[in-house]
Amino acid sequence: MSKQSSSSEQQIEHLRDTLRQYNHEYYVLDAPTVPDAEYDRLMQQLIELEQANPSLITPDSPSQKVGGAPLSAFEQVTHEVPMLSLDNAFDDASLLAFEKRLHDRLKSNEILYFSCEPKLDGLAVSLLYENGQLVQAATRGDGQVGENITQNVRTITNIPHRLKGDTIPQRVEIRGEVFMSKAGFEKLNSRQKANNAKVFANPRNAAAGSLRQLDPKITARRPLMFYTYSLGVVAPASLELPKTHSERLNLVQSWGMPLCPDIATAKGGQGCLEYYQHILRTREALPYDIDGVVFKVDSIALQQTLGFVAKAPRWAIAQKFPAQEEITRLISVEFQV
């Protein structure tokens, strides 16, 4: 082995160990010790080193794995369809490179339409409805196996216990994000302070810590909300569903599920960049925290053609915002001149 590759190997091992520790703190303990931007930077370094040394990629690398192991205190739920992660773009050029990859893979330059969605900063949850009744709720966990949090989810007031309408499938899994609004987070923290209880670092940690409680009575006192962003299992499989992701979201909304009001559709990568700028400009005024936006190829047929890689769909990408602490740093650098 050359000197170069042995030092890459050491760097890769070191990055993996560090990221595994950060994953455990973030996903299992709900107590991260580094900002997301720092985590993203290290993950990007790992991905680049692995791309330069493909023989060193192993299935247990954090670059190939989703989330964290479910806590054993909860009953486990095996997802019928895995709950995956998303690829990231950190600038406009990588978003346009994503669009080009889609065209190349589809061998077509036909304009693509995208569902554009705020990337809510909470945690992914799967809700299973049978004959319209909520029967099970689970966290994403490691993507294959999550935690059964049904009793806790039943306390979230904007999640219906029963779906309405006559087009409801016999069995349907609705996926989305549980999060805390900025106002709810401020209120909770003031209450915590007044009671000399733990104060949360941000709405994401507050949401994760509140949802993964062993006592649903505690969850019930926390201002959690849910927004739908996709469908999982639908049965019977022969059921005719709309042909685009955005129409499916509207259908799910007609059953009584809450949908983020800031979702839009865009034409081509350029349309996505305009949406990104619009959301970035209005970010402060939004009632919920986001860490970027998500773009999904709207056509379900094209999604099926594009398929998946190890831990993410090929037809979607998250374009991240510069983190707040990064923004502060950027602004202070600009003003130094």
Active site residues: 119
Token code pair at residue 78: 């095996």
Q: Are 245 and 303 in contact (CB under 8 A)?
A: yes
Residue indicated by tokens 């890769």: 12
Site for ligand NAD in 188-247 (CB under 6 A): 229
For residue 124, the minimal CB distance to ligand NAD (Å) is: 3
Which of 95, 156, 172, 294 touches ligand NAD by CB under 6 A? 294
127, 210, 318, 321: which one contacts ligand NAD (CB under 6 A)? 318
Indicate whether 300 belongs to the interface with ligand NAD (CB under 6 A): no
Choice from 34, 42, 56, 234 touching ligand NAD (CB under 6 A): 34
Q: Are 306 and 102 in contact (CB under 8 A)?
A: yes
What do you get for the CA distance between the two ends of the chain, in Å?
48
Report the residue count for the chain: 337
Distance in angstroms (rounded) separating the CA atoms of residues 89 and 119: 13
Instruction: Select the span of 3-11, 23-31, 52-60, 155-163 touching ligand NAD (CB under 6 A).
Output: 23-31
Of residues 9 and 25, the one with the C-beta less far from ligand NAD: 25
Closer residue to ligand NAD, CB minimum distance, 97 or 259: 259
Which one, 88 or 150, has the nearer CB to ligand NAD? 88
Applying CB under 6 A, which of residues 15, 16, 32, 168 lies at the interface with ligand NAD? Answer: 32
User: Quick one: which of 30, 50, 99, 117 contacts ligand NAD (CB under 6 A)?
Assistant: 117
Helix (H, G, I), strand (E, B) or coil at 235: strand
86 to 115: interface string for ligand NAD, x by CB under 6 A: x-----------------------------
Interface pattern 137-176 for ligand NAD (x via CB under 6 A): ---x------------------------------------
Residue from the set 119, 212, 222, 245 that interacts with ligand NAD by CB under 6 A: 119
Q: How many CB atoms lie within 10 A of CB 99?
A: 20
Q: Which helix (H) or strand (E) holds 304?
A: helix 300-306
Shortest reach from residue 236's CB to ligand NAD, in Å: 26
What's the token pair of residue 102? 């889609």
Answer yes or no: are the C-beta atoms of 118 and 262 closer than 8 Å: yes
Here's the x/- map for ligand NAD, 55-84, by CB under 6 A: it reads as ------------x-----------------
Q: Distances in Å between the alpha carbon of 265 and those of 239, 274, 293, 297?
A: 25, 11, 12, 10
CB 99 within 8 A of CB 330: no
The answer to whether 236 touches 242, Cβ cutoff 8 Å, is: no
**Kind of pairing between the strands at 316-320 and 88-89:** parallel
Q: Is 232 in contact with 79 (CB distance < 8 Å)?
A: yes
- Site for ligand NAD (CB under 6 A): how many residues? 22
Per CB under 6 A, residues contacting ligand NAD are: 22-23, 25-26, 32, 34, 36, 39-40, 67, 85-86, 117, 119-120, 123-124, 140, 177, 229, 294, 318
